[in-house]
Structure 1
Amino acid sequence: MATIKLARSTSCSRCINYAEPRSTVKSGFNCDVNYAKTQMKATRMIYGKDDKVQAHTLIQSFKPGEVTPEQANALGYQLAEKVADGHQVAIYTHTDKDHIHNHLVINSVNMDTGLKFQAHGQKAIQEVKDMNDQICLEHGLTIPEEPAKVRYTTAEKSLLEKGKISWKDEIREAVDYSVSRTSDFKSFSELLNKKGVDVKLRGKTITYTHLNANKKVRASKLGSDYEKETI
């Protein structure tokens, strides 16, 4: 069963520095993966867009025993072709957990147009999931029987329709980013705090606080993906 997580970063180099040393197999789409940092930076500099969001990261995970590292990397390359046409993407396959998974680092700036990669909120995540499901089905792999549960209020849905992101979605993105890079609650909490979100665990209840907005929300209000049993 292949699943994905999508996040963004203000440091492309940091994303690559995390993913590359841990990789078993690696490849590059529209770039030489051995020089990915240099080539991606050059593209951003050409268009004068080396600030703010520099990269988007996509975590593609597979059911244990379904694929080899080489097959996983090839599937990651296919996903890069579908998701990030015109962008440079470095695909790193990790085997350090019980499930093989890919870290795709997508350069934020399109090589041909200079436009920024757009992937915000649940709508973008669902589009990527649909593409990933299509690839997996073509290769005979299992996919989730139903989409990950995320709860949206009417106000949040209204913002999404306008192409805007709510403070709750910013928490979701921070959690998605942090949980994919940590293996225990302490390190998860510390990384999440650096992303501007505080997390408190009391029994089975998790409460997140958006530090800039100074607003709190229980995990159950964000969706089951953000509750204790899932993270």
Structure 2
Amino acid sequence: MAVTKLWSVKSNLKQVIDYAINPEKTAADVYTEEQYQALADVLSYAKDEEKTERELYVDGINCNVATARDQFITVKEQYQKTDGIQAYHGYLSFKEQNITPELAQKIGMEFANEIWGNRFQVVVTTHLNTTHLHCHFVVNSVSFVDGKRLWGEEKAWFKFRTVADRICEKYGLYYNPKPNRSKQSSYYYKQEQAGMPTRYTMVREAIDEAIAHSTNLRSFDYALTQMGYEHSLSESRKYWTIVPKGYTKPIRLKNLGEDYTEEAIKRRLMENQRVRIVPFAKQTVVIRQYRLPTREQKIKKVGGLYGLYLHYCYKLGYLPKYKKQNTKRLHYLLKEDLLKLDKITAETRLLGREHIFTDEQLFSYKASLNGQIETLIDDRAHLRKISRTKMSDDELSKVKGQIVSISGKIRELRKEVWLCDDIAERSKVMEQNLETIRAEEEKQERKEQNRYDKRR
């Protein structure tokens, strides 16, 4: 069975790449540099010589591969549709590891011809740089036949499975005639296998706790309500659903696993009738008599962006290092950020290493990175120009080595720029989350104090 995917390409705003647009072909007020460069990047990636054995497995449908970008743009300008989505980039990956590149390219061409060949220009390539061979497709977003954009079933990639399976069956490749479409997504499955909390694990834990204190559907419904979960257990509905905290989209209980189907939950509630069940009650918190200075209070004194990130890592349980992380006690607003812990850690290290505490310092550091990138790009362009002149093999090898080294430095600097962009965006979300958590904690402390005063 071939794994498939399709996504749109709009622009390449994050990459600062100097690209000279020929004014005789494209006017600046008609076609922007970012849009022009977006097509260049996606076509360059699809035809990467290191992945396609120097373009042995590169073909075009209704276009010439060498001039595909210009042909794409010509069609857009002809129908005055140069804005919005520039192209669609997709892939077709095969499960078999013994498939030949020739057969993979043949299947990719047959697939693309059947889906888009009548109305669109397509570049089809086969990449050989991974264990599983895979075809890449770059499809023009505007039809050369009638000027209409790619839409409907022409980009409904999940509906192309039948076409891919039929072609795989034709060439004797594996395919699954009856796939399970209701199972949990592989993304959440892999996160759970790694021990990371997800909205599915959060809901399972809540349902298990509610069932542990219930003997019938009425008490089960009451327990979920007291725990703050929106849900629907109506017999008139086809599926029972529950909405995880912090989300708006409900989850069908049957998608949580075999123990959470309607029949399984009723069976578990019936089994509870044989034993003594303690009715559900909200957990009470024991009031501390002594409040000593904590690590959290010391972190708050750091202040600025760096202090904000340190405080957030503390709330996530990542700090202090000597303390074992307990994800079950995290606030629901923080559990999703555990999936992004590696990126948050990298951003924290950047702020600490560069001593960045304010927005002005962050933007100044980003500007300096962009300046270094522009200088390196100029140096690389100069070296590439030199490499085209006549020189010995040793000199050419030395120049190419310098180009590779500069490209590596540019790549690392761009990662730093992306981290700066993420910090500017994520810091505002962190402040809102911490403010919400702080308000809920203060509210809980007032309730505990009132109970304590009443007991006195």
Q: TM-score, normalised by structure 1?
A: 0.63
Residues 53/66 of structure 1: CA separation in 2 closer, same or farther (3 Å cut): same
Aligned position for 1:63: 95
**Pairing of 1:146-161 with structure 2 (within 5 A):** 146-147=178-179, 149=181
Deviation (angstroms), 1:43: 1.0
**What amino acid maps onto 1:33 in structure 2?**
V
**What amino acid maps onto 1:9 in structure 2?**
V
**Matched residues, percent identical?**
28
Residues 104/217 of structure 1: CA separation in 2 closer, same or farther (3 Å cut): farther
Where structure 2 has 5 or more consecutive residues not aligned to the other structure, the ranges are: 11-37, 188-193, 200-245, 257-338, 340-456
**What amino acid maps onto 1:140 in structure 2?**
G
Aligned position for 1:9: 9
Residues 135/120 of structure 1: CA separation in 2 closer, same or farther (3 Å cut): closer
Residues 203/120 of structure 1: CA separation in 2 closer, same or farther (3 Å cut): farther
Higher helix proportion, which one?
Answer: 2
2:52 pairs with one of 12, 18, 23: 23
User: Is the Cα contact below 8 Å between 1:60 and 1:103 reproduced in 2?
Assistant: yes
1:110 pairs with one of 136, 143, 166: 143
Higher strand proportion, which one?
Answer: 1
Residues 101/34 of structure 1: CA separation in 2 closer, same or farther (3 Å cut): same
Q: Secondary structure at the match of 1:3?
A: strand
Q: What whole-Å deviation, never above 9, does each CA across 1:99-126 have from its counterpart, x for those lacking one?
A: 00011011111111101111589x9123
1:49 pairs with one of 57, 71, 81: 81
Aligned length: 172
**What amino acid maps onto 1:51 in structure 2?**
D
Deviation (angstroms), 1:66: 4.2
Counterpart-to-counterpart distance in 2, 1:140 and 1:105: 26
Counterpart-to-counterpart distance in 2, 1:148 and 1:48: 43
Aligned position for 1:168: none
Counterpart-to-counterpart distance in 2, 1:106 and 1:133: 21
Q: TM-score, normalised by structure 2?
A: 0.33
User: Is the Cα contact below 8 Å between 2:153 and 2:159 reproduced in 1?
Assistant: no
1:93 aligns with 2:126: yes
**What amino acid maps onto 1:14 in structure 2?**
D
**What amino acid maps onto 1:82 in structure 2?**
E
Deviation (angstroms), 1:35: 1.5
Q: Secondary structure at the match of 1:205?
A: coil
Q: Secondary structure at the match of 2:156?
A: helix
Residues 97/130 of structure 1: CA separation in 2 closer, same or farther (3 Å cut): same
When structure 1 is superposed on structure 2, of 93-102 and 5-14 the one drifting more is: 5-14
**What amino acid maps onto 2:129 in structure 1?**
D
1:34 aligns with 2:66: yes
